[in-house]
Amino acid sequence: MKALAGFARRYARNRAAVLGLVLVAIVAAMALAAPILYPESPWEMVGRPLLRPFQNPEFPLGTDALGRDVAAGILHGASVSLTIGIVATVVSVVLGTLVGAVGGWYGGWIDDALGRLTDVFQTMPFFVFALALVAILSPSVGTIIFAIGIVTWPPVARLVRGEFLALKSRDFVQACLGIGMSDARIIATQLLPNCAAPIIVTASIKVATAILTESSLAFLGLGDPNVMSWGTMIGQARDLLRTAWYLTAIPGVVILLTVMALNLVGEGLNDALNPRLKPR
Other CB atoms within 10 Å distance of the CB of residue 9: 10
Binding to another protein (CB under 8 A): which residues in 191-250?
193-194
Q: How far is the CB of 196 from another protein (least distance, A)?
A: 8
Q: How far is the CB of 191 from another protein (least distance, A)?
A: 9
Contacts of 183 (CB under 8 A, 6+ apart): 105, 106
Interface with another protein, residue 174, by CB under 8 A: yes
Interface with another protein, residue 50, by CB under 8 A: no
- Residue from 175, 188, 253, 256 that binds another protein (CB under 8 A)? 175
Q: How far is the CB of 60 from another protein (least distance, A)?
A: 48
**Short-list 269, 276, 97, CA closest to 197:** 269
**Dihedral class, residue 185 (left if φ above 0, else alpha if ψ from -120 to 50, else beta):** alpha
> How many Å apart are CA 161 and CA 220, to the nearest integer?
35
Binding mask 130-169 for another protein (x = CB under 8 A): ----------------------------------------
Q: How far is the CB of 189 from another protein (least distance, A)?
A: 8
Q: Pick the piece of the chain touching another protein (CB under 8 A) from 105-113, 121-129, 132-140, 171-179.
A: 171-179
**Nearer residue to another protein within complex by CB, 264 or 272:** 272
DSSP string, 79-122: HHHHHHHHHHHHHHHHHHHHHHHHHHHH-HHHHHHHHHHHHHHH
Interface with another protein, residue 117, by CB under 8 A: no
> How many Å apart are CA 193 and CA 265, to the nearest integer?
20
- Residue from 120, 177, 188, 241 that binds another protein (CB under 8 A)? 177
Interface with another protein, residue 176, by CB under 8 A: yes
Burial class from Cβ neighbours inside 10 Å (0-12, 13-18, 19+) for residue 101 reads buried
Number of residues this chain uses to bind another protein (CB under 8 A): 18
**Helix, strand and coil percent figures for the chain, each rounded to 5:** 75, 0, 20
- Residue from 135, 190, 249, 257 that binds another protein (CB under 8 A)? 190
> How many Å apart are CA 105 and CA 101, to the nearest integer?
6
Interface with another protein, residue 274, by CB under 8 A: no
Residues that bind another protein (CB under 8 A): 170-172, 174-182, 185, 189-190, 193-194, 280
